[in-house]
Amino acid sequence: MKKLTLAFIGLLSITLTGCFKDDDTPIVIEETTIYNENGGGGTETCPTITKAGGIALNETWTNENIYILDRKVVVQDGVTLTIEPGTIIKGRAGQGSLSSALIVARGGKIMAEGTPDQPIIFTSESDNITCGETSGTNLDENNRGLWGGLLIMGYAPCSLSGDVEETQIEGIPADDTFGLYGGNDPEDNSGRLQYISIRHGGTLIGDGNEINGLTLGGVGRGTFIDNIEIVANVDDGVEFFGGTVDASNLLVWAQGDDALDIDQAYSGTIDNAVVILGDSSDHAFEIDGPEGSAVGSFTLQNVTMKGNAITAGGEYADYRSNAMGATNNIFAFNFKDSSDIELDNDGVAANYNNDILTFSNWEIVLPTGVTDVLDVFNNTASGTTPTPGYGSEATAVNFGSQTVGANTSTLGWTYASELGALDF
């Protein structure tokens, strides 16, 4: 373990008023600055600033500091949090009301624009990464659930049960209004996220609810999301709860549940993504449709998915609950013979028949024991038969001969690339 030298401690407490009503959610921003020599693998002195509670005034987090999230830290309505390229944010361990997360409430903004050479990194407090580094030495893709995640709430439309306009994001107590998302503004702007790496998260935030790496609740297309990496999250990599935001150049590696999860009539475009399933992963895609009468159609395109051919888990995709949208230009390899692309109810099978749910240009390297690409496509609806044959949009290919999928070179900046996970 590196020697820690305590050179300076400064404490600043600012009492805030706002929408915090959960007794376990502080209404104080606490900043504790600790100058920490050799806190990670580097040699530079690096101040550590602890954040807890609500951010009520515009502020900037800078890359000469490490920021510790102590429980929920909320960017409040009307406030902008700016994060400089190369800044490291670490979440403190804890579950339930003590779980750490950065939450951008509706009306708040996050301006977090890293660069390929200086990505913004969200990780665990136990990660020994320090200022000026892009990775530590003590954690890898198997270290999950060590803190929470990043949640962004917006005013864009969602299709919600009961046709309500807004609802509470999963895991946030109902009295905490910073957890509300949804509205009627498809152009809503929650800020900019670019070259962001989110690692080792997904702790339990509520009863049966782990935090996703990146949660997007009703986020509008005025928000810019590009070059986002999620590694070793317990739950989903990125989950889209309704909204209209577009997202490009995504990488999800070794998540515990689904890599890309779409719900509540998400109506944006996800373009150029890589999914690398780990030992605990479930689906590369889990796609749900509207929960209310409002409808919306997603586009998911230019994706490379690498399966897990060794352990029990790991499926290509599950289309459920009246899913509506298009999935195009998908390359998949390294899956098991039991893995499938499933239509799992009559509603989604009917949408397929009516061209409301469409597929095009899937290229699949067939697993050992599978001789027909149609066998990868599985209709489990009880009363609806997809016509023409489900899977007719796919072609069997050999690895290296594929013509579709992601442009992986754009993701060379990632932690996954640094650890060799993109070497395929």
| Residue 296, both tokens | 């919306």
Render the burial of 352-361: b for 16+ CB within 10 Å, e for the rest.
beeebbbbeb
pTM over 0.85: yes
- CA 337 distance to own-chain centroid: 28
Dist CA 132 CA 206 (whole Å):
34
DSSP state string for 337-380:
TT--EEE-SHHHHHHHHTTSEEEEEEEE-PPTT---GGGGEEE-
Question: What pLDDT shows up at residue 312?
Answer: 80
Q: Which of 246, 285, 54, 81 is nearest to 156 (CA)?
A: 246
| Residue 407, both tokens | 């442009």
Dist CA 364 CA 331 (whole Å):
6
CB 181, CB 167: distance < 8 Å? yes
Dist CA 349 CA 320 (whole Å):
9
pLDDT of the chain, 424 residues: tens digit per residue: 333 333 333 333 333 334 444 434 443 444 444 444 444 444 456 899 999 999 999 999 999 999 999 999 999 999 999 999 999 999 999 988 888 999 999 999 999 999 999 999 999 999 999 999 999 999 999 999 999 999 999 999 999 999 999 999 987 878 889 999 999 999 999 999 999 999 999 998 776 678 999 999 999 999 999 999 999 999 999 999 999 999 999 999 999 999 999 999 999 999 999 999 999 999 999 999 999 999 999 999 999 999 998 888 899 999 999 999 999 999 999 999 999 999 999 999 999 999 999 999 999 999 999 999 999 999 998 888 887 779 999 999 999 999 999 999 999 999 999 999 999 9
Assign 77 to helix, strand or coil: coil
- Percent helix, percent strand, percent coil in the chain, to nearest 5: 5, 40, 55
Question: What pLDDT shows up at residue 40?
Answer: 45
Give the CA-trace dihedral at 314, 319, 321, 324, to 10 degrees.
150
